[in-house]
Structure 1
Amino acid sequence: MSITLDRPIADRTVTAVLNYLAPVQGRPRTYTYGPPAGEPRSTALPEPHAVTIHDARKAGEQFSLDRQGFAWLEAPTAIVDFGDEAAIRETYYPESAEIIRRATGADRVFIFDHTVRRRVTGAEDRGGGPRQPATRIHVDQTERSGPQRVRDLLPEEAEALLQGRVQVVNLWRPIRGPVLDSPLAFADARYFPFEDYVPTDLVYPDRVGEIYSVRYNPAHRWYYVPEMRREEALLIKCYDSATDGRARFVAHTAFENPAAPKDAPPRESIEIRSLVFHAPRA
């Protein structure tokens, strides 16, 4: 379920540039570390397009993970310091798992990692400093990599768990708010043809993951939540094994907000990644 506001607010729909995937020969690939000699860091080059990003607070509809593939909630947190790794794992993980469980009706939620992002002007993501907002449209998992994450992380249980419905759901929260700088845009899954997703290799030192990059299509419909607060959380579906017409993947990206004041504080956020399991139903 999403937040329902009981006060009139201005429509803060914007036109902004999002980075789609430029045409590429062969399979796109990005190294998460310094590439081998003679190799480019990435062959997944950006193709910018100006698009309308609708104000989700003014959309006049309820958003859900199964319909649009995303939702945002009132979700206060007990965490005071998101620089405290122990508190994140000991308190925020179970707190987030319960939020995801309630939103999905899952039998089990397994949180497998998190990323704290603090924007530094001019810094490159994975450049050795704080992780930066991701500025290319992507989906964290694919038709292949979603189930593979279960096998990688829970090998002894994987085949049994994969008999039921499996989802990968991210929970995104501002560390401080309201977020004015580099907010998150997310696409309504109902307006996203599957052929617009492009499997892309994400090369780590010890493994090769797979994400979706995204081809441009004017039919895509984009949203954001203006001025998200620390007490709000955004849920994004990155994979769903169900093939019965529910949303399965949601493309998303940070974007430069043209409505942000020049002195807007740099965005700080945390994202939790989880495997969500539903037992097989008789």
Structure 2
Amino acid sequence: MTAADRSVTAKLAGFYKPGADACQFGDSGWMYDMFARGQAWRAIPKFLSWCVSGNVIATLKWMATEGHTTTIHDARALEAREGLSKADFFHKFGFVLLDHRSAMTASDWLDSGEAFLVDETGTGAEEQARFYMAADTPAKRIYAAECEALLRELFPGAHDFFLPGLGVRRGPDFYNLYGATVHADFPVEFELAGEMNPWSDLKRQREIFLESDASEFYQVNFWRRVLPMEGPVKANPLCFGDPRTFRSEDLIKAEMTGQVSGGQMYLAARHHPDQAYYHYPDMTTDEVLLFRNAHYRKGDEDNGDVPVFHSAFVHPETPKDAEPRRSFEYRVGFLL
């Protein structure tokens, strides 16, 4: 460890035990209303319905996770040691930090956050997917073009970009909680990812990919600290796993219903001591983290690359008066 290396030791949450099987959290809307939105009057009727739904045992299994203390390595120091171009670093590790100042304002980020719940709107899955992609937001009008330009630099020859109108806004002025368990957003099987996440538009994107001459489909997650934060991220920073250190047996499918139309399926992880985790200390609003959300190849699209697992974590050096984290993640697909 060099003097400039800012690796830390911290506890990561959300791991399943080695013998754990695929898990499901049915009728999860009550927990979301209670803890994310702070609206007990909405949560109580849903909780009572959940109690008699037959999903209690399955949910308890879903919640049966454990934490593990691990070293979270300094990704800035890693980039310096590797000495690679940004593109080569991303292709080797599945993540990279880029310098980028966005034209988005504080209100733009808020106006571009996901803000729909099926239990309130009754919106069907197909309509929800169309809204997710086509919503007329600042992200669609401003940020989409910025992200496409960055991807064209990393992936010469990329085309057919799938640029959504909405992203995930987190912070004290928005209702999304910090994602504080180790997870990846979609399973490694392309067809399953689309079918089990109908809100995501992945089903349509897969069909376009299969009918195209492209040989690869990527989805890259753009994660950044956003205005009105004034200082660098100190509280609840993001860490992420080196996907090369995850074995296929470390991956476990986790399903959740009750929040978005058609439900959602993501990947949780079984802990293994060889897994390596990283973070970029003190990210600013002039930086953006890109990491691989999905990578599928033509002819083998149900055996995709391991995505980048990620989680917020409690940094042991977080000041007591640290500014709350405000962040935005934006998932962009494209063909290659």
Q: What TM-score do you get using the length of structure 2 for normalisation? A: 0.70
Larger strand fraction of residues: 1
Q: How many residues align?
A: 263
Runs of at least 5 residues in structure 1 that lack an aligned partner in the other structure: 1-7, 121-128
Partner of 2:294: 239
1:111 matched to 2:163? yes
Distance 1:273 1:42 in 2: 30
- Which range moved further: 8-17 or 195-204? 8-17
Residue of 175, 180, 184 corresponding to 2:234: 180
Residue of 182, 188, 193 corresponding to 1:137: 182
For the 8 Å contact 1:67–1:246, the answer to whether it is kept is: no
Runs of at least 5 residues in structure 2 that lack an aligned partner in the other structure: 31-45, 113-136
Deviations, residues 133-191 of structure 1 (Å, cap 9, x unaligned): 10010010112244555653447635314963111211001013410111110111121
Partner of 2:37: none
Residue of 54, 58, 72 corresponding to 1:53: 72
* Percent identity for Structure 1 against Structure 2: 26
Residue of 7, 10, 23 corresponding to 1:13: 7
**Residues 71-150 of structure 1 aligned to structure 2 (within 5 Å):** 71-81=96-106, 82-85=109-112, 86-105=137-156, 106-112=158-164, 113-119=166-172, 130-144=175-189, 145-146=192-193, 148=195
Distance 1:27 1:246 in 2: 18
For the 8 Å contact 1:28–1:42, the answer to whether it is kept is: no
Distance 1:214 1:199 in 2: 9
Distance 1:141 1:253 in 2: 14
Aligned residue type for 1:93? A
Instruction: Report the secondary structure of 1:241's partner residue.
Output: strand
Specify whether residues 153 and 246 from structure 1 end up closer, same or farther in structure 2 by C-alpha distance, changes over 3 A only.
closer
Question: What is the alpha-carbon root mean square deviation over aligned residues?
Answer: 2.8
Distance 1:167 1:273 in 2: 10
Partner of 1:33: 29
Deviations, residues 104-143 of structure 1 (Å, cap 9, x unaligned): 33223212331110048xxxxxxxx621210010010112
Structure (1 or 2) with the larger CA radius of gyration: 2
Aligned residue type for 1:75? H
For the 8 Å contact 2:209–2:217, the answer to whether it is kept is: no
Residue of 322, 326, 334 corresponding to 1:264: 322
Which runs of structure 1 show a deviation greater than 6 angstroms over 4 or more consecutive aligned residues? none
Deviations, residues 176-220 of structure 1 (Å, cap 9, x unaligned): 341011111011112111210111113245213221100010101
Aligned residue type for 1:117? R
- Which range moved further: 75-84 or 45-54? 75-84
Specify whether residues 49 and 143 from structure 1 end up closer, same or farther in structure 2 by C-alpha distance, changes over 3 A only.
same
Distance 1:252 1:232 in 2: 18
Partner of 2:62: 44
For the 8 Å contact 1:101–1:108, the answer to whether it is kept is: no
